[in-house]
Amino acid sequence: MAHQLDPFFTPRSVAVVGASSRPGKLGYSVLENLVRGGYAEKGRVYPINPKASEILGLPAYPSVLRVPDPIDLAVIVIPYPLVPPALRECGQKGIPAAIVISAGFREAGREGLEREIELMQIAREYHIRLIGPNCLGVIDTFTPLNASFAAGTPPSGPMAFMSQSGALGTAILDWALAGRLGLSKFVSLGNKADVNEVDLLRAWADDAATRVILIYTEGLPDGQAFIRTAREVSRKKPIVALKSGVTSAGSRAVSSHTGALAGSEQAYAAALKMFRAREHGQAVLDFLDFLARHPKHPLAPAAQYWIGEAYFVQRDYRQAVVEFEKVLEHGLENPKVPDALLRTGMAWQRLRDTRRAVDLWTRVQREYPKSDAARKAESLLASVRPAATTR
């Protein structure tokens, strides 16, 4: 069954609005990736530039309205004042999907937000699904389609990755290009004016090429919809999700980055517990390990915690203890420390060492009395203290 997001991944034709003949320009990089990445051998590519007649050996057109054939996907990479009229022309052409790489929208403040609202009004008027703005682009390695300004096309693999952060997306792509990770799909969500994590989860649920879904988000506007969808999709394939903005400082940084407001840590943690670590567990752990090995990256502490969580879910409690203890190496100010101490105690409890469990839970209460972990520790202590004192 066809999905409404299919034009982003398997388009029959792509127009690059803002295609450039000058290396180093984003419009050149996007067009080059479409040509060199193999898409031009299977689909049609239309450079759109009113000042050029030919770019990279392809006939160029002044507007999408001048292209004689239907277009499934438009990639827009032009200065932000020109984006709304360009998107309107896409609507008049009947293009069903657009990737807006251009920045200068919600992430740029109030005026940028107003521009983004205008953009979405046009998209809704013409029934255009939109990824971005302010994004890196989209890649499907099996089509093959590279509608991004990434440094190249990563090797094919079983993992689909969506990221709200272009910087993290670039790091993952670089790692993949080095041969350490295979991807089926990659989407840089940017400001998520339209297409978001829930949309992609639904689209990838039945994608035969995707066996693991990886998510990095900076905020979940509708946490309940995410949880419901994640619950459904995780019955079919494992999901690994990481979220920034847990601390107040992190939330401020996220807000200035993509215009997102960091979501509820409690709701998000509940959603994360749904992922299945048994199937394709090594692929999941490889991804988390990549993040954890970059201690200066803001995701490293959370990634290390979820490595421990993955082993805990697999009932490898000794290895879970080892991984949870590594969280402390990221610093005691790490917001994941209370949870790591709590889960380490739970792992020791499973290993029938109740005294160590009690010591750790007591430490959580003493050192982090206002944390959620402390409240959980109180309940756990109440259930085991009689047994602990009689041993």
CATH code (residue 377): 1.25.40.10
From 73, 103, 134, the end of a domain falls on 134
Residue 130 and residue 219 share a domain: no
- Domain residues for the domain of 75 are 6-134
Residue 102 and residue 21 share a domain: yes
Can you state the angle between helices 300-313 and 317-326, rounded to 10 degrees? 170
pLDDT value of residue 181? 75
Residue 158 and residue 130 share a domain: no
From 65, 100, 134, the end of a domain falls on 134
149 within a domain of the structure (yes/no) = no
281 within a domain of the structure (yes/no) = no
284 within a domain of the structure (yes/no) = no
User: Is residue 306 within 8 Å of 287, Cβ to Cβ?
Assistant: no
Omega within 30 of 0 (cis) for the link into 155: no
CATH number for 217: 3.40.50.261
Residue 316 and residue 212 share a domain: no
Residue 362 and residue 246 share a domain: no
From 241, 276, 311, the end of a domain falls on 276
Residue 165 and residue 127 share a domain: no
246 within a domain of the structure (yes/no) = yes
286 within a domain of the structure (yes/no) = no
Q: Into how many domains does the chain fold?
A: 3
pLDDT value of residue 252? 43
282 within a domain of the structure (yes/no) = no
State the 10-residue block means of pLDDT for the chain, 391 residues long: 88 98 96 96 97 97 98 98 97 98 92 95 98 97 97 91 83 78 92 96 95 83 84 84 54 42 43 43 58 62 76 82 83 80 92 92 92 90 65 44
pLDDT value of residue 277? 38
pLDDT value of residue 117? 96
323 within a domain of the structure (yes/no) = yes
CATH number for 38: 3.40.50.720
Residue 188 and residue 124 share a domain: no
Residue 263 and residue 377 share a domain: no
Residue 177 and residue 116 share a domain: no
269 within a domain of the structure (yes/no) = yes
Can you state the angle between helices 317-326 and 337-350, rounded to 10 degrees? 160
pLDDT value of residue 263? 44
Residue 246 and residue 200 share a domain: yes
Residue 189 and residue 248 share a domain: yes
Residue 263 and residue 178 share a domain: yes
